Amino acid sequence: MTDAIALYRDTLESIHGDLRLNLVDPNMYLWKYTDRYLSMPVGTSQYVFETDTVPFLQLVLHGTMEMYAPYSNFSFYAQSDILKMIDYNMSPSFILSKEPSWYLADTVSSDLYSTEFAQYEELIQRIYGSVNEVLSQTAGYAWTDRTVLADGVIRNTYQKGQDVMYVLINYTDNSYSWQGHDVSGLSAVVIRPKEGVR
């Protein structure tokens, strides 16, 4: 173990019980101290060619901490991005300021080029509303499976005891039908199957 890792661990160990810790893209050795994982990766490493991305990290960490997508005011706000938050079970996040971001130009936060709340108020409501409409229904459920039903159509399975629900995410422009349930293009729906139907 390096001295730096030991220092991080000792520091976080000493404050973890007193504070809820928000960590930005923490390494695995810090996960046990992480209450909120910020800027969780949602894309590929781009080191290899891949036909699809799989939310492996999100599946592994589901239920152990809160997980947040990259800042939506920094180009993560298209409809496909909103669907990815739902698919990957992540909450939206924003980094905001009351004043215009040009006030930050001569500070260590100069890379935060667009943060003024007034510019994003409507976008925040739209994105949060879209994600919350679906994911609020899965709260308290274990995320047990993710299945690709067709190219661009995902079914996530959630379970609590004997109660099962599905979230269908349709990344395509066309409507998709599954077991009598339709999901419009570029949308997501929650499906609660009738007793005995799985």
**The predicted structure's pLDDT at residue 196:** 45
Rounded-to-integer distance, Cα 52 and Cα 54, Å: 7
Angle between helical axes of 79-87 and 117-135 (0-180°, round to 10): 40
Instruction: Give CA 43 to chain center in angstroms.
Output: 12
Q: Read off the pLDDT of residues 84-116 as tens digits, 9 standing for 90 and up.
A: 999 999 999 999 999 999 999 999 988 898 999
Q: Which two tokens stand for residue 127?
A: 């994105």
More confident residue, 18 or 164: 164
- Helix, strand or coil, per DSSP, at residue 169: strand
pTM of the model: 0.89
**The predicted structure's pLDDT at residue 113:** 87
CA-nearest of 5, 11, 34 to 22 is 34
Residue 197: pLDDT above 50?
no
